Structure 1
């Protein structure tokens, strides 16, 4: 397993390098000047050239990329053009907030979807199966940002049960998910983000469990006199690796694609930070966020593969 993990880490190096080239180059293809918001409308050409030299935008792109890559390798993602703070500091706080709601969303989605998907697999072709299938289709079809707006209207506006946005008066620095006065701010974002994983994991669980139930060894277990609960344990264990792989991918998607949901709830995560940086043309922040999210996705896939190996010893890794 350790050799396989080392090989996967080595494979991730060229992937991260390719992502760094793409995220660095695409930012400069966008229209507008990243320094425009820092300069007054009547700024002279000399002032513009001076500021471009301060931020290194006066050098050729390959030179800028190489210097940026060397700084990234040393843990320095530069400073934000808008706030002047280190990009790594801003991303670390935002990433923790995103991981918090993403983990909660995947945990809730997995708990519900695995149970419903297993029940549907045991009742193929019945109204139970059709109901679960309908729910899973609705989960992947309904836009989560629209679902989030509906939740805000119902629970925050109409019934005034939960706050509509933010992280409370203490902000992200003093946020604690173990205190109700702060936890209630995360309920609506977590519920909204769990919609798509719920549908995806439910469909994959139904398919995986149904496939295992159709195999010969399940019939052999029943022929030997094992009870249905014992058979179910063997079935779930054989279906679990496939479901875990899907769950890990969904977690990666949530961490990297939560920009709309975080914007709706004003949740200060990486999606919210990335959206704000794109609108203000804050090039260092955009580059840093995209690179960090891509690396997080690669690490998530590696962790899922290792967990699969631990859960199912039949999966042999070199």
Structure 2
């Protein structure tokens, strides 16, 4: 029942987002058709494009036509590329998804243990080190960190590749669009390792902000939970301290961590724009940047809409995880 309610609440949100995305090109000064064909477009070509995109229709009619097509997964045709926006966006989605999931895994695998250790060693040099790492993570711009990682590991040490998803000249018959899974399906461990090497630097760069947030939230949540009565009771009963921390305390401390992680997954899908540009990663973020440079408004609209919907879906999934993680959370 709760899942149904959350889906119903998400509907007006999606409608509002679609309106904002649609109005985006109409808020830009000038004629969108003229901007898209600038500087080579003739008057006849501009008028033809205006008719093809329906820009000569009333704005409410334009929105209705666009949103009804979008419901049928028809986001129009790219002006510059001449291909379906839907196929172009979803063709790039696996690369962005793979990058975002890798980044969030790094953030969780590294951030949660650091946060737990910092809480246990409160006010020690270990705690201060973790706090410093956290502050650096949220302070350093992602694009600058990406450039520094390229300079250190690719240009200077030469141990990791600088760009792309796979080695130059390598090809794979993709089943899922996720190269790590595809290489495992094929049983090609050599190519699997090369794929990880290409993924590591952009994922590490993208993981800097969520890693810092996970460390901070885990630390503060663990400090609060460790002071609860049931934790003191477990200690008084002689329960091993490690069991108290990881079975009793950590499970309850994970609720705010799950919230942060869930929100960060959605944000990483959009935050990958800078990372994908720096590392030439062929995902949705890089597609959006190239479409902005080309003034390809149908492609911009489609990409931004998909980003927004993915963020909304992620929030719904996070809400549904609450009850599973913490039995105290009950939804009527």
Question: Taking structure 2 as the reference length, what is the TM-score of the superposition?
Answer: 0.90
Correspondence 1:221-300 to 2 at 5 A: 221-232=234-245, 233-300=247-314
Q: CA deviation at 1:195?
A: 0.7
Aligned-residue Cα RMSD (Å) equals 1.9
* Residue of structure 2 in register with 1:188 after alignment: 201
1:99–1:47 Cα change, 3 Å: closer
CA distance in 1, matches of 2:41, 2:152: 49
2:179 to 161, 176, 191: 176
2:73 partner SS: coil
Residue 230 (structure 2) aligned to one of 193, 207, 217: 217
TM score, norm. by length of structure 1: 0.94
| Cα separation, partners in 2 of 1:40 and 1:228, compared to 1, 3 Å | closer
Are 1:164 and 2:178 matched, yes or no? no
| Residues 74-93 of structure 1: pairs in structure 2 closer than 5 A | 74-93=72-91
Aligned ranges 1:143-162 → 2 under 5 Å? 143-162=141-160
User: Secondary structure, in 3 states, of the residue corresponding to 2:259?
Assistant: helix
- Over 3 Å counting, the alpha-carbon distance change for 1:299 and 1:42 in structure 2 is closer
Select the residue among 65, 69, 72 that pairs with 2:70: 72
Q: 1:28-47: CA deviations, max 9, x gaps?
A: 22245544477585754333
Equivalent positions of 1:8-47 (< 5 A) are 8-31=6-29, 33-36=31-34, 39=37, 43-47=41-45
How far, CA to CA, are the matches of 1:237 and 1:38 in structure 2? 53
- Change in Cα spacing, 1:40 to 1:153, as seen in structure 2 (3 Å) is closer
1:183: Cα distance to partner?
Answer: 2.7
Shift of residue 167, structure 1, vs aligned partner: 2.2
Ranges in structure 1 where 5+ consecutive residues have no aligned partner:
none
CA contact (8 A) 2:108 2:211 kept: yes
Q: Is the 2:142–2:206 Cα contact (8 Å) retained in structure 1? A: yes
Tell me, yes or no, if structure 1 residue 59 matches structure 2 residue 57: yes
The runs of at least 4 aligned residues of structure 1 exceeding 6 Å deviation read: none
CA distance in 2 between counterparts of 1:82 and 1:101 reads 26
Which residue of structure 2 aligns with residue 113 of structure 1? 111
Greater shift after overlay, 33-42 or 61-70? Answer: 33-42
Greater CA deviation, 57-66 or 102-111? 57-66
Alpha-carbon shift at residue 82 of structure 1 (Å)? 0.9
CA contact (8 A) 1:34 1:282 kept: no
CA change 1:172–1:41 in 2 (3 A) is farther
SS class of match (1:80)? coil
Cα separation, 2, equivalents of 1:172 and 1:23: 35
Cα distance in 2 between the residues matched to 1:43 and 1:132: 56
* Compared CA separation, residues 283 and 228, structure 1 to 2 (3 A): same
Structure 1 residues 40 and 116, CA gap change in structure 2 (3 angstroms) = closer
User: What SS is found at the alignment partner of 2:10?
Assistant: helix
Q: Residue 258 of structure 1: SS of its match in structure 2?
A: helix
Instruction: Give structure 2 stretches of 5+ with no counterpart.
Output: 184-191
Separation (CA, whole Å) in 2 of partners of 1:167 and 1:210: 40
Give how far 1:218 is off: 1.2
Tell me how many residue pairs correspond in the alignment: 316
Pair 1:199 & 2:212 matched: yes
